[in-house]
Amino acid sequence: MKIELSVNGERKEADVWPGESLLFTLREKLGLPGSKNACEQGECGSCSVLLDEKLVCSCLVLTAQAQGHEIVTVEGIAEDDRLHRVQEAFVQTGAVQCGFCTPGLIVATVDLLAHRPEPSDDEIREALSGNLCRCTGYQKIFDAVRLAARA
Amino acid sequence: MDILRPDSLEAARAALKNGSVALAGGTELVPLLRDRIVEADTIVEIRHAVPRGIQGTRIGAGTTLGELEVDPQIPDALREACRLAASPQLRAMGTIGGNLLQATRCWYWRLKYPCWLHGGGRCFAHEGLHREHAVFANAPCASAHPSDVAAALLALGATVRTDRRELPIAELYRLPTGDDRRMTGLEPGELILELEVPMPAASTYLKAMDRKRFAFALVGVAAARSPEGTRLALAGMAPIPWLLEDESALDEATPLPGNAYKLEIARALIRRALVAVAP
Ligand SMILES: Cc1cc2nc3c(=O)[nH]c(=O)nc-3n(C[C@H](O)[C@H](O)[C@H](O)COP(=O)(O)OP(=O)(O)OC[C@H]3O[C@@H](n4cnc5c(N)ncnc54)[C@H](O)[C@@H]3O)c2cc1C
Ligand code: SF4
Ligand code: FES
Ligand code: FES
């Protein structure tokens, strides 16, 4: 079936299987591999995108469910050819190791700061609790979020 | 496979025929469809067919956990159960109706072992890994009910309104038997529309998990006090949400070799919960 989507402000069309996840469509059909596929079960958050400004796991959303809604992926976060301040902060603090969790964490942090420009440590923990990282031990991710909040 | 998006309850009811399955947020159903644990020829997206939102003591089945966790008017037990469930991403999509109907997280079942609950003859958890499994009613299937929200609603004495009838939340669930292995008593195509959640004098939900957030309950304890007394209900302790007469009823549990620790946790959480709701 043909589905029309709005991704990062652009209209896109994709031919999808009715049971197909938004993550699969983004990565395999629309050339947007930024959202990562690690578990496909909602357990890691590496596929996080914004759907109508709400943070969701794109592996658990059917592409058909997203029709008529605004999708923002990590590819839509940067402003023109400059990194977003959240991306800049992740680079500067060394919050990226293997990088697999990074796109999801960037989107989750952008979402957090949109609602809480100066989050407390507990609010950061709460907001990022759906994003798992196997490498960093989270400390540098915290540093990145705090730095981005100050920037 | 086909997907339909009816815009009214009538249209949804007409669409929900044999071979179709209702989809609300999809957080539970999408992976089950992908893994072919649920097979359907038609997906019926019910988002525009079931009520969403909170009106006094009535909660639309399409209300998300994310909407509930920040609502100051719902009972504390329900708000806490929603807040401690899953992750922000999942709570943004997952609805309360879908949460009540989620299937077991038993990994043997999710990995499609031909176990008793899948219609086979044995329970792999009994012989194998069962640290997270049930300590009550755990033969022939030891799966633990994963819903924090259902335990809270059970303690609160909520009523479920479907497109056909009203039933106490306790009757939404049934222990599976040899000739009928389903764990809920809904008829095919029956839709949950609303929950009626009476306001208690006090209520709370406490949850023990492997990490501080984003894990299923090893033990969840809901307590609600009303003029008739205080009701306790448990998550993660039986194949269905479990009403507990009082703390001493824990002595009737039948833990497996690897999960008796749950009873110690339950004892501690029950005591704390009773203090929290005491007048
Ligand atoms: C990684 C992970 C962690 C989780 N952790 C927790 C946790 O800690 N605690 C907890 O309580 N839950 C937890 N959950 C469960 C989560 O809360 C549910 O997946 C979610 O609430 C389901 O809602 P949904 O709208 O997405 O349901 P869907 O996936 O759309 O549907 C689920 C089922 O309910 C049926 N259904 C949905 N709505 C209705 C209706 N109105 N009438 C009739 N049938 C309906 C569907 O047909 C389907 O069978 C977790 C889930 C995941 C994936
Ligand atoms: S606990 Fe239930 S679902 Fe898990 S293996 Fe045993 S029978 Fe299957
Ligand atoms: S890939 Fe979606 S949560 Fe892990
Ligand atoms: S940097 Fe490797 S998983 Fe987070």
Tokens of B86: 């899953």
Q: Residues 211 to 230 of B: which have CB under 8 A from any A CB?
A: 212-214
Mutation pick from B87, B105, B110, B207 vs chain A, by most beta carbons of A within 10 Å, is B87
Asked if residue A43 and residue A97 are part of one domain, the reply reads: no
Asked if residue A90 and residue A70 are part of one domain, the reply reads: no
- Identify the residues whose C-beta falls under 6 Å from ligand 3: A 37-40, 42-47, 57, 59
Distance from C-alpha of B5 to C-alpha of B262, rounded to nearest angstrom? 43
Q: B43 C-alpha vs ligand 2 centroid, how far in Å?
A: 27
A106 touches chain B (CB under 8 A): no
Report which of B236, B241, B238 is spatially closest to residue B269, judged by C-alpha positions.
Answer: B236
**Is residue A98 classed as helix, strand or coil in its secondary structure?**
coil
Distance from C-alpha of B14 to C-alpha of B82, rounded to nearest angstrom? 32
Pocket test for ligand 2, best of B117, B122, B132, B136 (most atoms within 8 A of CB): B117
Residues of B in contact with A127 (CB under 8 A): 88
Q: Do A57 and B45 touch (CB under 8 A)?
A: no
pLDDT recorded at residue A80: 82
pLDDT recorded at residue B18: 84
For residue B65, CA distances in Å to A31, A144, B87, B209, B233 come to 32, 29, 10, 19, 19
Residue A43: give the domain boundaries: 2-76
pLDDT recorded at residue B1: 87
Decide which of 3.40.30.10, 2.60.40.1180, 1.10.630.10, 3.30.43.10 is the CATH code for B1-49: 3.30.43.10
Q: Do B92 and A56 touch (CB under 8 A)?
A: yes
| Nearest ligand (C-alpha, residue A102) | 4
Ranges under pLDDT 70 in chain B: none
Asked if residue A119 and residue A63 are part of one domain, the reply reads: no
Q: Which residues pair with B167 in a beta bridge?
A: B160
Report which of B150, B216, B218, B223 is spatially closest to residue B184, judged by C-alpha positions.
Answer: B150
Residue-wise pLDDT tens digits, B5-27: 999 999 999 999 889 999 999 99
CATH number of residue A119's parent domain: 1.10.150.120
Domain topology for B55-277:
3.30.465
pLDDT recorded at residue A79: 84
Q: Any residues with CB less than 8 A from the CB of B100 and at least 6 apart, and which? A: B147, B149, B150, B153, B160, B169, B172, B192
Minimal CA separation from A92 to chain B, in Å? 26
Residue-wise pLDDT tens digits, B246-269: 999 999 999 999 999 999 999 999
ipTM: 0.95
Report which of A4, A75, A64 is spatially closest to residue A35, judged by C-alpha positions.
Answer: A75
